A and B are shown apart, each in its own frame.
Chain A
Amino acid sequence: GIQVEQSPPDLILQEGANSTLRCNFSDSVNNLQWFHQNPWGQLINLFYIPSGTKQNGRLSATTVATERYSLLYISSSQTTDSGVYFCAVEGNYGQNFVFGPGTRLSVLP
Chain B
Amino acid sequence: EPEVTQTPSHQVTQMGQEVILRCVPISNHLYFYWYRQILGQKVEFLVSFYNNEISEKSEIFDDQFSVERPDGSNFTLKIRSTKLEDSAMYFCASSLGLGDEQFFGPGTRLTVL
Contacts and interface: CB of A to CB of B under 8 A. Distances in A.
Interface string A79-107: 00000001010100011111111100000
Given A90-B99, A94-B56, A99-B42, A43 B107 contact: yes
A63 interface: no
> By DSSP majority rule, is chain B's interface helix, strand, loop, or mixed?
strand
A41 interface: yes
Interface string A28-48: 001101010000011101001
A33 B97 CA distance: 15
Nearest to B46: A96
A94 B56 CA distance: 9
Contacts of A99: 35, 42-44
Contacts, number: 57
Chain A: number of interface residues, binned into ranges? 20 to 34
Given A86-B43, A96-B33, A45 B56 contact: no
Nearest to A99: B43
Interface of A: 30-31, 33, 35, 41-43, 45, 48, 50, 86, 88, 90, 94-102
Interface of B: 31, 33, 35, 37, 42-45, 48, 50, 55-56, 58, 89, 91, 93, 98-104, 106-107, 109
Closest 4 CB pairs of A and B: A30-B99, A48-B101, A96-B45, A99-B43
